[in-house]
Amino acid sequence: MRAIICGAGISGLTAAWWLARDGWDVIVLERAHGLREEGYMIDFFGTGFDVARHMGLLGRLREVAYHVPEVIWIDGQGRREASISYDRLAKAMGGKLLSLMRGDLERQLFEFLPASIDMRYGAMLTGIDNRTDGVTVTLADGTRLEADLLVGADGIHSIVREKAFGPQTQFFRDLGYQTAAFIYSDDATRRELNGEFKLVSVPGRTIGLYGLRDGRVASFFVHKTDRKDLPQNPAAELQCVYGGLGWHVPTALEKARNAGSIYYDHVAQIELPRWYSNRVVLIGDACAAVSLLAGQGASLGMGMAYELAAQLRKHKSVAKALARYERAMQRPLRRKQKSGRDTAAQLVPATPFQLRLRNLVLALVKVPGVFPLLSPIFLAGTKSLID
């Protein structure tokens, strides 16, 4: 049996590994021309952690993980306002929490793939002929490929979804925020961070900065906005939105102007009633993006890939396997999406009152005996979907 996977992000690479392990002949199509380092620092726990353990990948991930002892929130001038001990959170999760750069996770998954997988970078899917007994895929260069199954792992703006289920607008829930991430070099910022993860938090805007082991700085930005389109010039938009802030923010904005590439997107969720049609199935952000407000997109994409492979292993009939996969994952993913929407105000407080409330809760956590009482709130939604 042959599977074509469209998208070599976290979900697609995980699906490729599991399907190849089960004897599928796997082709992966990726429109980018190689691995990308872009992206933010991921809190890797729960579902993704368990999938990585089943794959035997945890050792490699631990090697590239960062030790973030605590996360510190500061105001627009760099004054400390609140903090939380990550070591404490990790302990409460039984040690099952890693801080990983998205690009490092992608690279580790890629390097873990068996040589039998046909990886095609620079290959953009443009067309699908989806039948009950197979699927024909067309690429931008006119190449046509036949397969028994097409897995759409092509992210929140999925072309596979558009071709098989309809236009994005039907399934796209804009949460009213936009986000950006890029990596840059600046010695002064790095010295100031000194191994700490700092978040500048002012009403409606949050910026996270972290010093990487190679001497560079990883940054991410998230802000509330009424804008429905994406800016033509992300660096200029960042300057416009974050321009008045102090501390090391002006340097970050200056660096954005010369950054090779900036990840910039809506903070949005994808909800669609069916995740499969004939021989096309969706995984990851393509069918159930939870958004960075829910904070587990990569982990959940790995969980969906794992479950899809498990159902295909269990059932001879592809149609039955796809139905079982959808049934197993759709409801839990909707719950994760809802909790992401509910907790948005904690990640990006919109008003000075919400900001003070968040800081008060974080201060309370430090009072002896309070953390165990509040830990159900911090650990809500972290349970693995696959174990």
Ligand X SMILES: Cc1cc2nc3c(=O)[nH]c(=O)nc-3n(C[C@H](O)[C@H](O)[C@H](O)COP(=O)(O)OP(=O)(O)OC[C@H]3O[C@@H](n4cnc5c(N)ncnc54)[C@H](O)[C@@H]3O)c2cc1C
Residues that bind ligand X (CB under 6 A): 6-12, 29-32, 36, 38-40, 102, 124-125, 153-155, 159, 179, 181, 220, 263, 284-285, 292, 297-298, 301
Cα separation, 302 vs 47, in Å, equals 7
Per-residue tokens: 282: 């969706």
Beta bridge partners of 78: none
Least spacing, CB of residue 212 vs ligand X, in Å: 14
Closer of 7 and 211 to ligand X (Cβ) = 7
**In terms of DSSP bridges, do strands 216-224 and 172-185 run parallel, antiparallel, or are they unpaired?**
antiparallel
Under a CB-based contact definition with an 8 Å cutoff, are residues 359 and 82 in contact?
yes
Closer of 88 and 120 to ligand X (Cβ) = 120
Least spacing, CB of residue 360 vs ligand X, in Å: 27
- Nearest CA to 267 among 242, 246, 240, 294? 294
| Residue 383, CA distances (Å) to 45, 230, 294 in order | 9, 34, 13
Beta strand segments in 47-202, E: 70-74, 80-85, 97-101, 118-121, 125-130, 135-139, 144-147, 149-152, 172-185, 197-202
Least spacing, CB of residue 305 vs ligand X, in Å: 9
CB atoms within 10 A of CB 150: 30
Closer of 39 and 349 to ligand X (Cβ) = 39
Closer of 128 and 365 to ligand X (Cβ) = 128
Least spacing, CB of residue 341 vs ligand X, in Å: 15
Closer of 315 and 334 to ligand X (Cβ) = 334
Per-residue tokens: 2: 């042959």
Closer of 107 and 274 to ligand X (Cβ) = 107
Least spacing, CB of residue 288 vs ligand X, in Å: 9
